Amino acid sequence: MLDLAGTHHFFGIFAPKGTPDAVVKKLSDVMAKVSQEKDYRDKMHKMGTQVLFEETKAFEKTVNLYKENLQAFFKEEGLVK
């Protein structure tokens, strides 16, 4: 059984590569607004989820770091070559 203690999860909106910058910005702007709404925050907290909005570039860094950490973990556990 894998020990994933200390790991976390996140929610995000992803768009296909090549999505126009204006569309990505609009999605980001909408999510920034939603993440500040009291009803949304309350519902997320009830599910045990912390609300933390990240702008597009910061979120890309978060996803890439998460990916690198998971790859290292699976390699160390011998689950991938």
Per-residue confidence in pLDDT tens, the chain, 81 aa: 555 555 667 788 999 999 999 999 999 999 999 999 999 999 999 988 889 999 999 999 988 988 888 888 899 889 987
Task: Kindly list the distances between the CA atom of residue 58 and the CA atoms of 11, 35, 77, in Å, as whole numbers in the listed order.
Answer: 14, 16, 29
In a 3-state reduction of DSSP, which class is residue 17? coil
| Buried/exposed code over 52-64 (b: 16+ C-beta within 10 A; e: otherwise) | eebebeebeeeee
Element (H, E) at 75: helix 56-76
Give me the pLDDT at residue 58, please: 94
